[in-house]
Homo-oligomer: A and B are copies of this chain.
Amino acid sequence: MKGKAQSNSESRRNALPLRRDENFPEWYQHVVRAANLAEFGAVRGCMTIKPNGYAIWEVMQSTLDAMIKASGHRNAYFPLFIPKSYLEREAEHVDGFAKECAVVTHGKLVRSDGGKLIAAAPLEEQLIVRPTSETIIGEAFSRWIQSHRDLPLLINQWANVVRMEMRPRLFLRTVEFLWQEGHTAHSSAEEAREETLRMLELYRVFAEEHMCVPVTCGLKTTRERFPGALDTYAIEAMMQDGKALQMGTSHFLGQNFAKACSIKYADSDGAEKFAWTTSWGVSTRLIGGLIMAHGDDDGLVLPPPVAPVQIAILPMVRGDGDGAPIKWAETLKIRLEETRLKSGASLRVAVDDRQLRGGEKFWQKVREGIAIIVEVGARELDDGTVTFTLRGSRKVTIGIDKFVASAANILDDYGEELFNRQLRLRLEKTVRVSGFDEMRDFFAAGNGFVEAHFCGDRALEERICAELSIGTRCVPLGTIDDVGPCIADPSRVGPLTIWAKAY
């Protein structure tokens, strides 16, 4: 623990200058910076995802992509620019996004007499940089779908989208973000609803089994649903500070966009009918969720299934050019890569052979969230042992064969423990209340999830949320039949609804 003692005073024993319980939002910024994940650049709210952050996104993306393809969807790519008139086609939709649209008005730059660059060549029709793609994909669907034989049409897109956020936060709210957006069309409402819930369930599996973050699947209230949707479902997670994060949404769009975009088909009986559509998406926001769910006072904590590197091997690198520890490390890497996690994935192992002081390298890997750090010194070369540190545990030395044989299990158990820790947190910080005062007192004292029956009245929801600075998160699908007197208007009844402060 030499590095620790060197880089921190006795009273501050963590790798970050700030603990979670001191200032959670500031701690978040420190984690991002210390793990070299991302930064804001010159344009307000536009994030650069640095190699360490992008590597996490690549693992998430490849896993999700395989899941989305396995459920029958094909990838395609639609234009970045949406004609302004397209957005107007669905009234609720445009009103929902108008406030945050980046508008391209010119197609050229020219030099003014003074040598300054000025926008020229005004466009005939102004273009919106996509905030989401329902309207432009709807236009394509209206041409691609002619007959009932063209249905269901199951499409996914990986893309960047732009929403002019006024209060940007790295990963959580950025002007530009990366996401996948699924768009499907069906011949019946029932089938479209099934698809909506199937993708919600896919997101749950990804969040819980790959990100090790327990989530609640639920239905959004009218006030919180996607502009233009009939029903919006979401997976909601609790962060370590008790606030909620919406990690993914799945929308049943009914025939709203089919009518707005004219997505019609000839049914087997010859009749012309409008299709039923869905859309669903998750974004780089997931990385923000990862940080806030698992991070600790030493920095990022990566669950093994989405970690670009699960095991980092740090050979002692000496100035005298003795490469024996590096060779030893490379051999260990190859042996480890032959073993597999419970999920079937191969172990992801990296050797860091830079010539840095041992402590410096070790603490860098800690801040980067590596689950297992193996340190290779002279002793290991001699006696056939491995000295490693599992995040959150003490350093141990065991025989090399034993380590190779058990590494996958250690990582599997560690991921499970991360999940369980989050589950316990959520249980501890969730209360069920039956009176409004009780709810007010709860949020006055701290954060967490409040479960309360709610009638769903939009104006009432708005009033409560403004008064307590909270929001409804969802009506959990698991308790959707649990109906009782509304917390704010006992003359009406409604389902159990989760309330929380949210990111």
Which residues of chain A have a CB within 8 Å of any CB of chain B?
39, 41-43, 46-51, 53-55, 57-58, 74-84, 86-88, 94, 98-111, 117, 119, 121, 126-129, 136, 139-140, 155, 159-160, 162, 164, 175-176, 178
A42's partner among B139, B155, B175 (CB-CB below 8 A) is B139
A75/B54 in contact, CB under 8 A: yes
A162 to B80, CA, bound (A): 9
**Chain B residues, Cβ within 8 Å of A55:** 74-75
**A109 and B103 form a contact (CB under 8 A):** yes
> Closest Cβ of chain B: how far from A350's Cβ, in Å?
12
Q: Which of B41, B103, B126 contacts A79 (CB 8 A)?
A: B41
Instruction: Please give, as numbers and ranges, the residues of chain B lying within 8 Å of A140 by CB-CB distance.
Output: 39, 41, 48
Are B164 and A46 neighbours in the complex by a CB distance under 8 Å?
Answer: no
Please tell me which one of the listed residues B76, B100, B104 contacts residue A103 in the complex, with CB atoms under 8 A apart.
B104
Contacts of A139 in B (CB 8 A): 41-42
A78–B160 CA distance with the chains assembled, in angstroms? 11
Chain B residues whose C-beta falls within 8 Å of the C-beta of A48 in the assembled complex: 76-79, 140
Residue of B nearest to A109 (CB): B98
Complex CA–CA separation, A94 to B117 (angstroms): 9
Identify which of A42, A55, A94, A139 gathers the most chain B CB atoms within 10 Å of its CB: A42
Residues of chain B with a CB closer than 8 A to A129's CB: 80, 104, 129
Which residues of B have CB within 8 Å of A49?
76-77
C-alpha spacing A100/B107, complex, angstroms: 6
Q: Are A106 and B109 in contact (CB under 8 A)?
A: no
* Bound complex: CA A314 to CA B117 (Å): 58
The answer to whether B107 and A104 have CB atoms under 8 Å apart is no
Sample 24 A-B pairs with CB under 8 A, ordered by A number.
Answer: A39-B140, A41-B79, A41-B140, A42-B79, A43-B79, A43-B83, A46-B80, A48-B76, A48-B140, A51-B76, A55-B75, A80-B162, A81-B102, A94-B117, A99-B108, A99-B109, A101-B107, A102-B107, A103-B109, A104-B129, A105-B105, A105-B119, A108-B164, A159-B160
A84 → B minimal CB distance (Å): 6
Q: Given that A46-B80, A80-B176 are contacting pairs, would A74 and B103 also be in contact in the complex, using a CB cutoff of 8 Å? A: no
B117 touches A98 (CB 8 A): yes
A109, B101: Cβ atoms closer than 8 Å: yes
Separation of A384 and B58 alpha carbons in the complex (Å): 44
B119 touches A103 (CB 8 A): yes
Residue contact B127 to A109, C-beta cutoff 8 Å: no
CB distance from A87 to the nearest CB of B (A): 7
Q: A54-B77, A58-B75, A102-B106 are in contact. List 13 more A-B contacts (CB 8 A).
A: A39-B140, A41-B79, A42-B86, A47-B79, A81-B175, A99-B109, A101-B108, A102-B104, A103-B104, A103-B106, A104-B129, A105-B106, A129-B129
Q: Tell me the bound Cα distance from A101 to B117 in angstroms.
A: 11
| B residues near A39, Cβ cutoff 8 Å | 140
A286 to chain B, nearest CB (A): 15
